[in-house]
Structure 1
Amino acid sequence: MTYIPKIWIIIFLLSLFLLVFYMSQIEWTKTSELPQKSTAVHSARENSSNEKDTILLIWFWPFNRKFDLNSCESKFNIKNCQLTDDRRLYSSADGVLIHHRDIARDLSNLPKLPRPFFQKWIWMLFESPQNSLRLPGLDNLFNVTMNYRQGADIVIREQLQLKPQETEEPLKNKSRKVCWIVSNLNGNLARVKYFNELNKHIAVEGFGNHFHRRISREQYTQTIESCKFYLSFENTHERSDHTTIDYITAKTFDPLRLGAVPVVLGPPRHSYEKFIPKDSFIHVDDFNSPKELADYLHMLDQNEDKYQQFFSWKKHFRVIMVNWPVEHACRACQYIRNKKSFQVFTNLNKWYWG
């Protein structure tokens, strides 16, 4: 029998111990270095019973307007959509929603990691081109456009919806003739110049910060309901500029919903008529001057039958407003869930700014 010195047995056992310890450290390091998204993905799916939920990462809260991330099913009956603002989920998110007005001029606050092959970037903007900065470098970044324009991949806008059955909606009593609620006015805008001239010929009752008459949301509703006519003046009015087409906002749909006749300034009449009945509003372009428009409003104020004709559409339709911005996020998630095919969009700046 070969005699093995104790020292060699000790060295062997010590080496074996060190080897086992070293291997365990390697395994621990591998585990600890797993991407954080693995834990985040699990956390994001904990609230859902479906492991195949579509994950939409909200990169910026639009204008810092936050909302309940679990609203898609309860508010819009959109199922299997998981909204998150956790940027650790970036590498596994099916889509990333990016609000244009929150992008830095040098694009420095956009995702830094490469985009996964399966992921869609959704460009979101609901302001007019004239009031949104055109940013170089966006043309080849996004797969999907979300906008008020009919040519966008995801179109979201206020609209009229057919009622299940005809109904009569009596108008509330009107204590005011012409109203306008506005907070910020720029003296160079066409709407300001038109208002200043119109106000010389018919009294416009103004509300909002500009007129030093701040009102609450409840007062906003009550005020418009009390007006016969409401100045639905958009902040753009370029007759020859195609970029303003379809830019028709809640400034028009709120008075329609609340029983006032919108007096509109913005896109041309034919653009409005794509979305609302031609006899539901008054367009400033139909008159040669603000005085001529004022004379027409005076006439309608004295002729109840003619005034009531502007509401005949209410028998058949109702106004559907957009729930900003939670509806936009849910519709974006719904889109990328339903449309798995490859997409590319290469001319964003030209498409939107011309």
Structure 2
Amino acid sequence: MFYLKIIKNKNIFPDFFQLLESTFKQLFWFSNQSLLKSNETIILMWVPYTDAKITNEHLKTCKELHCKITYDRSTFEKASAVVMYDHNLLPNDLPPQRRDGQHFVFFLMESPTYVSEQAFQALRKNYYTLTMTWRKDSDIYSPFELQKYIDIDIYGYCGSKKCKKTDQAYQEYDPCEMMFRKEYKFYIAFENTVCTDWVTEKTFNRINMHSVPIVLSRKIYSKIAPNMSFIAADDFKSPADLAQYLKYLHSNADKYIQYFKWKTKFDSVPFPNGFHLAFCQLCKRIKKENEDGKFIISPKATDLKRWFIDSAECNNSMVPQMLTL
């Protein structure tokens, strides 16, 4: 064990004391970084995801990788990846310059029509190194006139019904979710636009909460959801036909219950718990790059507009057509 004798006259060994002071500052700085372990891979969330907080709970299925998610910006220099949720990113609130071997991750769970305006335009070329989106070809894949013919309750900014949003949004015990589950058999889960691979999180919320989601396109959902777990609006010739079918299911419990038989063969993962797949993928990628000694920048990330906007196959006409339901 070593002891340090205090010398009052610092002028005797000025260089020694400067070195000592600098060393202690570094030691105390590292000790205050949320008790970060030397073998941990740090993932820094620069701006939060809109609908739910992403935490270390989303890494519990890959604990052996020793990753940690933090929102503490003072860990920037130690972070192996800095994840930026584009929709909430501002050009005047960007990280410092990226260091060698550090990933800047473009993160978005919205369609191409909902990218941030200023930040996306400013950072679309040669800024990010990886992509994390709902598109299956992402570097890190994160898997997410009716009122004329049937009564519809509309909640939120566009409707007359209100349900106060809480920190438990999208969770089973959220007051709004409990009310929806108790009072509604169907839920309209229309995307703001129809793009290849793009599905709204609202669909999977409803599947997990035991009501039947009504989606726009069967072609998209048939690839990712069990048969008879949703109702596709484009299966019907008109909004009136869809409304008539919903009334039929409402009056015939044996037919309605058919939309839940898939639960005997499949399990659903509540949103946003599905993020554990994406963030464990990110951890595995970082670990492999460290082991191989290779830092790989994705060409998709270096030209975001070309990949995310120009190559997107979107149909914006379906939404207004079905909203006349």
Secondary structure, aligned partner of 1:204: coil
Partners of 2:185 and 2:14 in 1: CA distance: 77
| Contact 2:205–2:271 (CA under 8 A) maintained in structure 1 | no
Aligned partners of 1:148 and 1:155 also within 8 Å: yes
Q: Which residue of 2 aligns with 1:353?
A: 309
Equivalenced residue count is: 281
1:165 alignment counterpart: none
* Distance of 2:231 and 2:132 partners within structure 1: 29
In structure 2, distance between residues paired with 1:91 and 1:281 = 46
Q: CA deviation at 1:201?
A: 1.0
- Match in the other structure for 2:5: none
Q: Give RMSD over aligned pairs.
A: 3.2
Question: In the alignment, is the contact (CA less than 8 A) between 2:154 and 2:160 conserved in 1?
Answer: yes
* In the alignment, structure 1 residue 110 sits paired with structure 2 residue 66: no
State how 1:267-306 maps to structure 2 within 5 Å. 268-306=217-255
- Pick the aligned partner of 1:344 from 297, 306, 325: 297
Structure 1 counterpart of 2:146: 198
Match of residue 210 from structure 2: 259
Superposed counterparts of 1:314-325, under 5 Å: 314-323=263-272
Percent of matched pairs sharing the same residue: 28
Q: Using the alignment, how far apart are the partners of 1:202 and 1:37 within structure 2?
A: 66
Would you say the 8 A contact 2:142–2:274 is kept in 1?
Answer: no
Contact 2:43 2:79 in 1 (8 A): yes
C-alpha displacement at 1:205, in angstroms?
Answer: 3.0
Q: Is 2:80 the partner of 1:94?
A: yes
Distance 1:329 1:151 in 2: 13
211, 225, 232: which one aligns with 2:189: 232
Cα distance in structure 2, aligned partners of 1:71 and 1:303: 41
CA drift of 1:27 comes to: 4.0
Matched, 1:220 2:177: yes
1:260-284 Cα shifts (integer Å, max 9, x gaps):
221112xx32111111023221111
Report Cα offsets for 1:238-271 as digits up to 9, x if no partner: xxxxxx2222122111221222221112xx3211
TM-score using structure 1 length:
0.68
Change (3 A) 1:323 1:28: farther
* 1:311 and 2:260 correspond: yes
Structure 1, unaligned stretches of length 5 or more? 1-19, 159-196, 238-243
The separation in 1 between residues aligned to 2:82 and 2:103, in whole angstroms, is 6
Cα distance, 1:86–1:257 mapped onto 2, change above 3 Å: closer
Counterpart of 1:342, as a letter, is F
8 Å CA contact 1:97, 1:329 repeated in 2: no
Q: Is the 8 A contact 1:95 1:336 kept in 2?
A: no
Cα pair 2:163 2:176 within 8 Å, conserved: no
**In structure 1, what is the Cα distance between the partners aligned to 2:153 and 2:51?**
32
Q: Which amino acid aligns with 2:259?
A: F
CA distance in 2, matches of 1:101, 1:118: 25
Give the C-alpha shift of residue 293 in structure 1.
Answer: 1.2
SS at match of 1:246: coil
Structure 1 residues 344, 33: closer, same or farther in 2, change over 3 A? same
**How much has 1:21 moved relative to structure 2?**
4.0
Give the superposition deviation at 1:119: 1.2
1:155 Cα deviation (Å)?
A: 1.6
Partner of 1:44: 33
Change (3 A) 1:280 1:37: farther
Mapped to 1, the partners of 2:34 and 2:99 lie a distance apart of 20
Are 1:123 and 2:106 matched, yes or no? yes
Which residue of 24, 42, 48 corresponds with 1:61? 48
Contact 2:58–2:273, Cα closer than 8 Å, also in 1: no
- Give per-residue Cα distances to partners, 1:169-221, cap 9 Å, x unaligned: xxxxxxxxxxxxxxxxxxxxxxxxxxxx2111111233445223325622423
Alpha carbons of 1:302 and 1:72: their partners in 2 closer, same or farther (altered >3 Å)?
closer
Separation in 2 of the partners of 1:313 and 1:275?
13
Counterpart Cα distance in 1 of 2:251 and 2:73: 60
Checking the alignment, whether the CA contact within 8 Å between 1:71 and 1:326 is kept in structure 2 is no
Instruction: Kindly indicate whether the alpha-carbon contact (under 8 Å) linking 1:264 and 1:282 is maintained by their aligned counterparts in 2.
Output: yes
> How far does residue 102 in structure 1 lie from its aligned partner after superposition?
2.8
Higher deviation after alignment, 221-230 or 306-315: 221-230
Larger Rg: 1
1:343–1:36 Cα change, 3 Å: farther
CA contact (8 A) 2:143 2:275 kept: no
**Alpha-carbon offset, residue 45 of structure 1:** 7.0
